[in-house]
Amino acid sequence: MAYMVLSTVALVTMNAIARYMTETFHPFEVAFFRCFFGFIFFVPLFFRYGLEPLKTKIIGWHFLRGIGNATCMLMYFTGLALIPLAKVMALSFTSPLFATVIAFIAFGEAIRTRRITALIIGFAGALIILRPGIIALDLGSMLILGAAAAWAIVLVIIKKMSQTDSSITITLYSTIFLIPVTAIAAFPYWQMPNWEQWLWFAAMGITGSLGQTALAQSFREADMTAVMPLEFLRLVWAAIIGYFIFFEVPDLYVWIGGTIIFSASTYIAYRERNAGKESTETAPPVPHQ
């Protein structure tokens, strides 16, 4: 549980720094530095394991995951610059909902009445936040939902890759492919940071990687049912940071919709874990951020 709390604090801190840096830099350049310094965080692994983590027989899948991850990140950081931090967190909870639908379409995974009901409820939560027809749909929200859908595809790919490769290998290749793709996207908007901005970018990359590592460790140390509810703290921290740093006040619809989405996503995660235990007696792959 402590690892999960640490993960929520680190990931929201990373988002807050990214939001702050997009006031000066293009979101694509911010995304590049997130990837670059995120990779630096994992460099010590090479001193401990050498090149062993890079051994894989599914390099094509790693490349596909890297492209999907880059698409997700570029959309996410652009949306992050446009809408309140708490709204970003609330809408990002939809990733497991999209992942369930994609797994059903791509791999024919079973989806029964309870999960279908949870999906409907979860997407209804997104509609509560967006309120289409009542207020205009904004680009930032659409980008965050698009990023959530892209990340859902990545989650399904990770699930397949985890059958043959370790989490370390999957994470390292993700970062390796992300750096050149985001660098190409950032090149037209490039501006050189000063020394203080370099420190902010480094902090962003480190907190992002720390958050993902702590998230993975939380699922190794405890059952998903014990730690998953604590992920809701991401919305709480985002609201607090958004209020005190960016002077944002999330409306009631963000809290209601975010709670509904999170509850539905958590229920689906529990059902998937129980189904996995019944069929394989093994734990599911660790999800993202």
Residue 34 lies in a domain: yes
Burial 165-186 (b: 16+ CB within 10 A, else e): bebebbbbbbbbbbbebbbebb
Residue 287 lies in a domain: no
- Output the pLDDT for position 283: 36
pTM of the model: 0.90
Residue 109 lies in a domain: yes
User: 32 to each of 9, 36, 44, 122, 190, how far by Cα in Å?
Assistant: 22, 6, 20, 31, 10
Report the first-to-last Cα separation within the chain, whole angstroms.
16
- Output the pLDDT for position 285: 37
Residue 286 lies in a domain: no
- Output the pLDDT for position 105: 87
**Structural domain count, the chain:** 1
Residue 192 lies in a domain: yes
Residue 284 lies in a domain: no
Residue 44 lies in a domain: yes
Residue 14 lies in a domain: yes
> Which stretches of the chain score pLDDT less than 70?
224-225, 275-289
What is the dihedral sign for C-alpha 139, 142, 146, 147? positive
- Output the pLDDT for position 55: 86
How far is the C-alpha of 253 from the C-alpha of 245, rounded, in Å? 21
Range of the domain at 42: 2-279
